[in-house]
């Protein structure tokens, strides 16, 4: 009976009253629905049990696409659909890393075998023997300092900043460090993890999503420390990287469910809320990005379950191919650009490893940040654990990037991962036991509230930027050099 009362409240206030009082009534309904009926935790657990990892191009990946489509249709999105695209899919086969100490006569004095994983888009076949050179954190400055010494060597770098002299500097993505190694003539790259406990991680080593010319591998923190000790003691180490991988054209599918807007004019505009469904194959992708993608599907459930109406259209999107180079989101942006649909996108909200939402990031838009803070004061009337301490920061390397580079405003919820999950990013320990039901419920209820309020604004402060304005925006936020390195800068250098 109580549910029907809230439905009546929503019909009365949902589409026509944007006052704080109207929002509060709707937010109360959202809160009660999620706390009583939230399904993000259960559906993620079910998908992991039935599917496992969700690697794009694999049988598991196709099963995950179908699972998401079926789930959204079961929530009432009868027209939920696939958006198909073709990609060059990479998958791992065999890899080994052997390190040799040689004496003054160049005879092998000792051999050490290290546990290792290939980084994505490494060559289909590679057999490299070369001296290992320590390039520290692998930043531009580190490669510049090493200079010609990198040529024909295997570069050893840290995945995160470890050197005291680099503290406070902006870290580079593993693919950008690999691009620097290639630029300086390295024959291979070894990337050492920063998490203790023998944890191995994977991810793409390609800035373009295409195969790279040198093998790239990841070793544990402890292995990296061990190799550096040997270099310090011996002065010269020879590394042997042997690997074979698979690469072939495949078809993958984004999953899209649409909630049509109700306003005659504003319904032509849309908000995209999306996150990547795919994961790497070392574990199950529970944190990266099960918590984001399954939260999105439960937000979609809430809107249908409560019969929420919004002036603007909302598209709920599950992207594939993010881990292999933002492939699904790049495809969507290209398709929407062709049809003119991209001009209708007023905001793209990205959930990537979003956990325990307590505020939002407005992606560099001051007016949007102020609006989110205003909406947040109403959310706090529901629950003061929503801190409303919003940020206005701009970053790269997730599915918001292709939209942002095309002038679309972007945003994302902000939260915090449990401490035990940080070390399992892209790693072989990313399992469901890291996930908290309460944290996922916070994702769903607070993001649903913010999404509802934004989609009922008469005029969002998020006009699509022109090409020149986008360029200036990216320069202002110090992203030009990083985008050039990532082969993603669209303008003259």
Work out the average pLDDT over 134-156. 98
First-to-last C-alpha distance (Å) of the chain: 63
pLDDT class of 104 with cuts at 50, 70, 90 = low
Q: Is 147 exposed, middle or buried (0-12, 13-18, 19+ CB in 10 A)?
A: exposed
Task: Report the pLDDT value the prediction gives residue 208, as an integer from 0 to 100.
Answer: 86
Q: Which CATH architecture has domain 2-87+249-485?
A: 3-Layer(aba) Sandwich (3.40)
Question: φ, ψ for residue 351 (rounded to 5)?
Answer: -115, 100
Task: Report the pLDDT value the prediction gives residue 102, as an integer from 0 to 100.
Answer: 79
Nearest CA to 286 out of 6, 51, 31 is that of 51
List the chain domain ranges: 2-87+249-485, 89-248
Task: Report the pLDDT value the prediction gives residue 108, as an integer from 0 to 100.
Answer: 74
Coil, strand, or helix at residue 202? coil
Using CA atoms, how far residue 342 sits from 29, 332, 465, in Å, is 32, 9, 11
pLDDT at 103 over 80: no
Structure tokens at 65: 């696409």
| 424-479 tens-digit pLDDT | 989 999 999 999 999 999 999 999 999 999 999 999 999 999 999 999 999 999 99
If you average pLDDT over every residue of the chain, what do you get? 94
How large is the C-alpha radius of gyration of the chain?
24
- Percent of the chain residues past pLDDT 90, beyond the cut: 89
| 278-323 tens-digit pLDDT | 999 999 999 999 999 999 999 999 999 999 999 999 999 999 999 9
Using CA atoms, how far residue 116 sits from 97, 156, 160, 198, 219, in Å, is 7, 13, 18, 10, 5
Task: Report the pLDDT value the prediction gives residue 105, as an integer from 0 to 100.
Answer: 66
- Identify the CATH assignment for 89-248 out of 1.20.210.10, 3.40.50.720, 3.50.30.30, 3.40.228.10: 3.50.30.30
Structure tokens at 54: 């969700």
pLDDT class of 235 with cuts at 50, 70, 90 = confident
Task: Report the pLDDT value the prediction gives residue 3, as an integer from 0 to 100.
Answer: 46
């Amino acid at each position: 009976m109580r549910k029907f009362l809230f439905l009546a409240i929503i019909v009365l206030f949902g589409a026509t009253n944007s006052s704080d009082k109207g929002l509060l009534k709707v937010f109360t309904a959202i809160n009660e629905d999620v706390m009583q009926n939230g399904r993000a935790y259960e559906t993620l657990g079910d998908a992991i049990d039935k599917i496992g990892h969700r690697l794009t191009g694999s049988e598991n990946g196709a099963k995950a696409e179908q699972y998401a489509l079926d789930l959204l249709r079961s929530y009432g999105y009868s027209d939920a659909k696939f958006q198909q695209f073709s990609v060059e899919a990479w998958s791992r086969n065999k890899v080994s890393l052997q390190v040799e100490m040689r004496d003054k006569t160049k005879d092998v004095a000792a051999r050490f075998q290290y546990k290792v994983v290939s980084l994505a888009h490494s060559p289909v076949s590679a057999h490299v023997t070369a001296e290992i050179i320590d390039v520290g954190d692998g930043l531009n400055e580190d490669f510049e300092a090493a200079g010609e010494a990198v040529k024909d060597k295997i570069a050893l770098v840290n995945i995160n900043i470890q050197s005291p002299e680099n503290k406070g500097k902006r870290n580079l993505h593993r693919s950008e460090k690999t691009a620097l190694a290639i630029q300086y003539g390295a024959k291979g790259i070894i990337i050492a993890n920063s998490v203790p406990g023998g944890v191995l991680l994977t991810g793409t080593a390609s800035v373009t999503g295409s195969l790279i010319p040198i093998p790239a591998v990841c070793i544990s923190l402890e292995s990296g420390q061990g190799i550096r000790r040997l270099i310090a003691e011996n002065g010269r180490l020879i590394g042997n990287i042997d690997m074979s991988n698979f690469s072939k054209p495949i078809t993958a599918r984004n999953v899209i469910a649409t909630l049509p807007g109700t306003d005659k004019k504003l319904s032509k505009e849309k908000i995209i809320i999306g996150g990547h469904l795919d994961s790497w194959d070392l574990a199950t992708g529970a944190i990266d990005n099960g918590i984001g993608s399954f939260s999105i599907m439960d937000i979609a459930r809430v809107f249908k379950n409560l019969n929420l109406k919004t002036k603007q259209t909302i598209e709920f999107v599950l992207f594939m191919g993010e881990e292999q180079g933002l492939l699904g989101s790049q495809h969507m942006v290209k398709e929407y650009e062709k049809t003119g649909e991209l001009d209708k996108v007023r905001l793209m909200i990205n959930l990537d490893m979003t956990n325990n939402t307590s505020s939002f990031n407005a992606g560099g838009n001051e007016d949007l940040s102020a609006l989110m803070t205003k909406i947040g004061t109403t959310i706090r009337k529901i629950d003061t654990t929503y801190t409303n301490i919003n940020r206005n920061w701009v970053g790269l390397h997730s599915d918001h990037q292709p939209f942002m580079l095309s002038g679309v405003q972007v945003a994302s919820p902000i939260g915090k991962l449990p401490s035990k999950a940080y070390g399992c990013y892209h790693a072989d320990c990313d399992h469901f036991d890291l996930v908290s039901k309460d944290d996922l419920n916070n994702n769903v209820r607070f993001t649903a509230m913010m999404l509802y309020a934004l989609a009922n604004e008469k005029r969002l402060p998020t006009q699509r930027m022109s090409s020149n304005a986008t360029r200036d925006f990216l320069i202002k936020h110090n992203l030009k050099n990083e985008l050039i390195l990532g082969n993603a800068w669209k303008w003259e250098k």
